[in-house]
Amino acid sequence: MRSEKALTRTQQARRHDIVAAAITVLTGEGFASASIERIAREAGASKGTVLYHFKTKEAVHEAVVELLYANGAAYMTARIMAETTYRDRLRTYLSSNLRFIAENAAHVLAVQRILQNTTAAIAVPSGVDPLRDLLAAGQKSDEFGAFDPEVMSLAIRAVVDGAAHYFPAHPDLDVDHIIAEAQQIFEKATAADPFKEQKP
């Protein structure tokens, strides 16, 4: 896929319009309906315009997936790195990830439909690796207790990934309550031993 930096503003805007149209079709009508022709009509463009920018339907799908993960990473990273302790970073990891899912439910659903149905190989970033590293670093600083960081990161990701499937189907959820509960669960699960001597 061509780099966004190599495109003019007009080309970038047109690509974004096409991706937005694909999200609308995928969410409202399903994967089978998301043809180039249908996406083009939703975008107010011709089939040739869509193919000029993306070449294939699979390329459109890939762009939809890449955009979600790029937006999610940007949304979360700034908030997480603004925190100064690993415990607060874990709290913010949960709150920012769950809130991003809630605020982008249509895009999340579109990506799920792509990944569940496409035959194309679309790479998605691992959510486990950076979380495992955060937990391990927190253990080294004695902010977290003794546990396997990889297993704990898998448990946290199971909650987040479950929310990604649950939130789009339940738009009236109390997201603040769910975030607070998830934070409490993993604060208890990762808590440091109160009797362990702390590092000076």
Residue 144 — φ and ψ, nearest 5°?
-115, 160
Give, as one character, the DSSP assignment of residue 146. S
Q: Is 199 contained in some domain?
A: no
Q: Measure the CA–CA gap between 6 and 153, rounded to whole angstroms.
A: 37
CATH of the domain at 55: 1.10.357.10
Percent of all residues in the chain with a pLDDT value above 70, rounded to a whole number: 94
Q: Is 36 contained in some domain?
A: yes
Q: Residue 172 burial by CB count (10 A; 0-12/13-18/19+): exposed, middle or buried?
A: exposed
Tell me the three state secondary structure of residue 144: strand
Q: Is 197 contained in some domain?
A: no
Q: Measure the CA–CA gap between 54 and 67, rounded to whole angstroms.
A: 14
Q: Measure the CA–CA gap between 130 and 113, rounded to whole angstroms.
A: 25
Q: Is 200 contained in some domain?
A: no
Residues of the domain holding 122: 4-190
State the average pLDDT over residues 90-102: 98
- Predicted confidence at residue 175, as pLDDT, reads 96
Rg (CA), the chain: 20
Lowest-confidence region among 63-67, 125-129, 133-137: 125-129
Q: Is 160 contained in some domain?
A: yes
Q: Is 19 contained in some domain?
A: yes
Tell me the three state secondary structure of residue 33: helix
Q: Is 137 contained in some domain?
A: yes
- Predicted confidence at residue 173, as pLDDT, reads 93
State the average pLDDT over residues 5-32: 90
CA 191 to chain centre: 26
Q: Is the pLDDT of residue 24 over 80?
A: yes
Q: Is 195 contained in some domain?
A: no
Q: Measure the CA–CA gap between 127 and 114, rounded to whole angstroms.
A: 18
pLDDT in tens, 146-196: 999 999 999 999 999 999 999 999 989 999 999 999 999 999 999 987 666
What is the overall mean pLDDT for the chain?
Answer: 92
- Predicted confidence at residue 120, as pLDDT, reads 86
Q: Is the pLDDT of residue 1 over 60?
A: no
Q: Is the pLDDT of residue 94 over 50?
A: yes
Please tell me the total count of domains within the chain: 1
- Predicted confidence at residue 193, as pLDDT, reads 76
